[in-house]
């Protein structure tokens, strides 16, 4: 059996004069960890208007998976998005139109000094699509890149879970009103090793050992009222840490990375190879207090060949998520894209703003209500200008895969 190892890069606790120390999510800098979010989302709109020739409908299915695996020498990030839709209009004899697409992004960093400073990276972007206007799928899209960077993202979700557990157990008078920062940090270290407990004890048995070690941490730090979690405490642990019957804890990241490199499109959707690009990216994440998460990713790329359709592009994605309660998240996004034309056509600026209320139901189900505003200024490279701001209000059911 592999021995469970704790790998800590830095644990810094700030002390304020004349007051007790207050731990922050940014204090959690454990290098080894995993972060995963996966959702399957579906929506269906049906309109049966007596003034129209036939019933119209629009069905959409989406799947999203994001994962980060980090160790001292390596990090591996991947993101997968798939979407399919079927639409039929209300005009007489309007036929059903279907389309689907899938994109994947995989990136690996190799840290030179096994710390949070300099690294080399390599990445790959893959795409596959079938448009409603075509009878068959396009050629696969393949792009590769490599370069150097600086910085690291830390996964602070275990500490957020420890803080949630402490808060919950206080309500049931299982732990003392004041729990030390040291106890919270040690509890978070055990929570962050869930995958290793699964590997050692199996997916059916690991929780008894996992919870037992959490109890030991609380007992050694004199945080338990009766020197035991009791059956109620175990149930509360499971409620907070499990996504089967509860919403779990909002995934938390903090830190930043900046990188630069070169990229090459090996095959676009027409089967042609593209031009070499010089790329740069800045990624920043910050938990704001106990209930909020902010993330910004700014990326830019410049084509080296003057014959390309565009000179350079800038993409900025911003998100802010706030936990309104244990069952409701408020998710806000702003995606901005700017394409600078090279020789012909318009420069294009595209904006998409979205706000979502996500209500966590039982059995890993969520109910989402989303308001989206979108606008495109200029027509070029597959983007078409809009007359104003397009507005869409949608409701959907999501299933949390992990």
What angle is formed at CA 178 by the lines to CA 176 and CA 179, rounded to 5 degrees?
90
Q: Distance between CA atoms of 63 and 81, rounded to whole angstroms?
A: 6
Structure tokens belonging to residue 57: 């409908």
Spatial separation of the C-alpha atoms in residues 211 and 232, rounded to whole Å: 12
pLDDT at 18: 30
Residues 54, 127, single domain; the answer is: yes
CA 143 – CA 264 distance, rounded (Å): 6
In this structure, are 296 and 384 located in the same domain?
A: yes
Say yes or no: 194 and 330 in one domain.
no
Question: Domain ends where: 154, 170, 193?
Answer: 154
C-alpha 342/C-alpha 27 separation (Å) is 46
Cα 47 from Cα 194, distance rounded (Å): 47
Do 171 and 149 sit in the same domain of this protein? no
Among 154, 80, 74, 69, which Cα is nearest to 124's?
80
**Are 125 and 226 members of one domain?**
no
Q: In terms of domains, do 121 and 234 share one?
A: no
Q: Are residues 280 and 385 in the same domain?
A: yes
pTM of the model: 0.82
Same domain, 14 and 38: no
Q: Phi, psi (5° rounding) for residue 162?
A: -60, -40
Question: Is 250 contained in some domain?
Answer: no
Q: How many CA atoms lie within 13 A of 86 on its CB side?
A: 8
Tokens of 389: 């701001």
Q: Cβ neighbours of residue 276 under 8 Å, at least 6 residues apart?
A: 262, 263, 264, 303, 304, 305
295 and 380, same domain (yes or no) = yes
Residue keyed to tokens 């919270």: 184
Q: Considering the domain boundaries, does residue 15 fall inside one? A: yes
Does residue 67 fall inside a structural domain?
yes
Domain assignment of residue 2, yes or no: no
Which of 154, 185, 209 terminates a domain? The answer is 154
SS (H, E, C) 76-135: EEEEEEEEEEEEECCCCCCCCEEEEEEEEEEEEEEECCCCCCEEEEEEEEEEEEECCCCC
Task: Give me the residue label for tokens 């004199």.
Answer: 222
Say yes or no: 208 and 145 in one domain. Answer: no
Query: Phi/psi at 238 (nearest 5 deg)?
Result: -65, -35
The answer to whether residue 265 is domain-embedded is no
Q: How far is CA 352 from the centre of its chain?
A: 18
Other Cβ atoms less than 10 A from the Cβ of 18: the count is 5
Supply the pLDDT for residue 372. Answer: 93
Q: Which of 137, 154, 171 is the last residue of a domain?
A: 154
**Number of domains observed in the structure of the chain:** 3
* In a domain? residue 358: yes
Digitized pLDDT (tens) for each residue of the chain, 402 residues in all: 344 333 333 333 332 333 334 889 999 998 888 878 888 888 888 876 656 667 788 888 999 998 888 889 999 999 999 999 888 877 777 778 888 999 999 999 999 998 899 999 999 999 998 877 777 777 888 999 999 999 999 989 899 999 989 998 999 999 998 889 999 999 999 998 888 898 899 988 999 999 999 999 999 999 999 888 888 999 888 888 875 444 567 788 999 999 999 999 898 877 777 778 899 999 999 999 888 999 999 999 998 876 666 788 999 999 999 999 878 999 999 999 998 887 777 888 999 999 999 998 877 788 889 999 999 987 766 677 788 898 988 888 888 777
Which domain range does residue 125 map to?
33-154
- Whether 171 and 123 map to the same domain: the answer is no
């Amino acid at each position: 059996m592999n021995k469970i190892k704790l790998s800590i890069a830095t644990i810094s606790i700030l002390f304020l004069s004349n007051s007790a120390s207050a731990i922050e999510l940014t204090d959690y800098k454990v290098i080894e960890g995993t972060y995963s979010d996966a959702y399957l989302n579906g929506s269906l709109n049906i309109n049966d208007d007596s003034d129209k020739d036939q019933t119209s409908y629009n069905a959409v299915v989406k799947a999203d998976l994001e994962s980060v695996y980090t160790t001292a020498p390596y990090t591996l990030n991947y993101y997968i998005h798939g979407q399919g839709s079927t639409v039929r209009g209300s005009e007489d004899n309007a036929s059903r139109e279907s389309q689907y697409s899938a994109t994947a992004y995989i990136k690996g960093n190799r840290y030179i000094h096994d710390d949070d400073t300099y690294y080399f990276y390599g990445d790959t972007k893959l795409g596959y699509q079938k448009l409603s206007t075509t009878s068959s799928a396009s050629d696969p899209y393949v792009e590769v890149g490599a370069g150097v960077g600086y910085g690291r993202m830390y996964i602070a979700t275990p500490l957020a879970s420890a803080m949630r557990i402490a808060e919950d157990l206080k309500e049931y008078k299982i732990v003392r009103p004041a729990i030390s920062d040291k106890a919270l940090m040690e509890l978070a270290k055990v929570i962050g090793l869930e995958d290793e407990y699964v590997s050692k004890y199996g997916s059916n048995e690991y929780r008894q050992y996992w919870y037992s070690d959490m109890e030991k941490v609380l007992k050694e730090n004199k945080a338990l009222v009766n020197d035991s979690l009791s059956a109620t405490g175990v149930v509360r642990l499971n409620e907070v840490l499990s996504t089967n019957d509860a919403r779990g804890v909002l995934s938390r990241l903090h830190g930043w990375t900046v990188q630069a490199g070169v990229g090459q499109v090996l095959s676009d959707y027409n089967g042609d190879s593209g031009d070499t690009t010089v790329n740069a990216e800045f990624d920043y994440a910050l938990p704001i207090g106990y209930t909020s998460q902010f993330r910004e990713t700014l990326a830019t790329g410049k084509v080296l060949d003057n014959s390309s359709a565009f000179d350079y592009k800038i993409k900025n994605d911003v998100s802010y998520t706030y936990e309104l309660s244990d069952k409701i998240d408020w998710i806000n996004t702003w995606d901005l894209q700017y394409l600078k034309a090279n020789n012909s056509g318009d420069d294009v600026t595209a904006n998409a703003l979205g706000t979502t209320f996500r209500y966590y139901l039982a059995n890993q189900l969520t109910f989402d209500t989303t308001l989206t505003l979108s606008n495109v200024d200029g027509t070029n490279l597959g983007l078409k200008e809009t007359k104003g701001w397009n507005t869409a209000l949608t409701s959907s059911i999501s299933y949390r895969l992990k």
